[in-house]
């Protein structure tokens, strides 16, 4: 990650890869200098290896979301330890070693940080929720102008590709910043 994120927007997409919407996001990013980060569900990555390959070939980052999408506070520690190991093993089969972990719903139990540390994972969240999961139009997602460091979108967000294009238009960062990966677009739910 670049040393300074001042003036940048990081779009993150959770819960993919999806065989329809992830390629749509990749297509929206194609031809631009923008790069995304995809917080993937490892079981979906295993189901859609061609989408994982497309994400990587586009120069985008793949990080950990989970293997099964469960709230950490609704299961015991052993369940999350097992889920995390299984997800990391699945991603390792693709040659992917995540450094960041966004838990489902951002939900953390008292022991989530310990599990992250045991796997050398940085826990991360988001500043702005696009509410794409509600079906908001791209204009509504961007209308607030309250962009922070990380903007989250999800796999089934039909308006996410449009929102990505509009973010690029609204925030025309200098090429040097784009090239330094200050603008990132993670994974679509």
Query: Pick the catalytic residue: 14, 15, 83, 132?
Result: 14
Query: Pick the catalytic residue: 83, 132, 154, 156?
Result: 154
Rounded to an integer, what distance in angstroms lies between the CA atom of residue 143 and that of residue 109? 33
DSSP annotation of 144: T
Lowest mean per-residue pLDDT among 5-19, 53-67, 71-85, 113-127? 5-19
- Specify whether the CB–CB gap between 138 and 163 falls below 8 A: yes
CB-side exposure of 163: number of CA atoms within 13 Å?
A: 32
Active site annotation includes 72:
no
Active site annotation includes 154:
yes
Rounded to an integer, what distance in angstroms lies between the CA atom of residue 14 and that of residue 132? 11
In this predicted structure, what is the pLDDT of residue 57?
A: 95
Q: What is the pLDDT of residues 126-181, one digit of tens each?
A: 766 666 666 666 666 656 555 544 455 555 444 454 445 444 444 443 333 332 22
Rounded to an integer, what distance in angstroms lies between the CA atom of residue 126 and that of residue 65? 13
Residues with Cβ < 8 Å from 95, sequence gap 6 or more?
none
Rounded to an integer, what distance in angstroms lies between the CA atom of residue 121 and that of residue 70? 18
Predicted TM-score (pTM) of this structure: 0.76
């Amino acid at each position: 990650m670049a040393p300074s994120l001042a003036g940048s927007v990081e779009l993150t997409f959770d819960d993919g890869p999806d065989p329809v919407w992830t390629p749509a996001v990749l297509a929206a990013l194609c031809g631009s200098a923008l790069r995304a980060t995809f917080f993937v569900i490892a079981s979906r990555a295993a189901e859609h290896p061609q989408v994982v390959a497309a994400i990587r070939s586009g120069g985008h980052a793949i990080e950990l979301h989970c293997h099964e999408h469960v709230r950490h506070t609704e299961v015991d520690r052993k369940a999350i330890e097992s889920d995390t190991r299984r997800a990391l093993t699945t991603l390792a089969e693709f040659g992917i070693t995540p450094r960041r972990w966004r838990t489902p719903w951002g939900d953390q139990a008292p022991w989530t940080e310990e599990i992250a540390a045991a796997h050398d994972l940085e826990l991360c969240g988001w500043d702005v929720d696009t509410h794409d999961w509600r079906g908001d139009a791209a204009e509504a997602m961007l209308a607030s102008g309250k962009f922070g460091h990380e903007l989250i979108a999800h796999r089934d967000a039909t308006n996410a590709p449009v929102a990505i294009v509009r973010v690029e238009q609204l925030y025309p960062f200098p090429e040097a910043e784009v090239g330094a990966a200050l603008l990132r677009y993670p994974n679509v739910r």
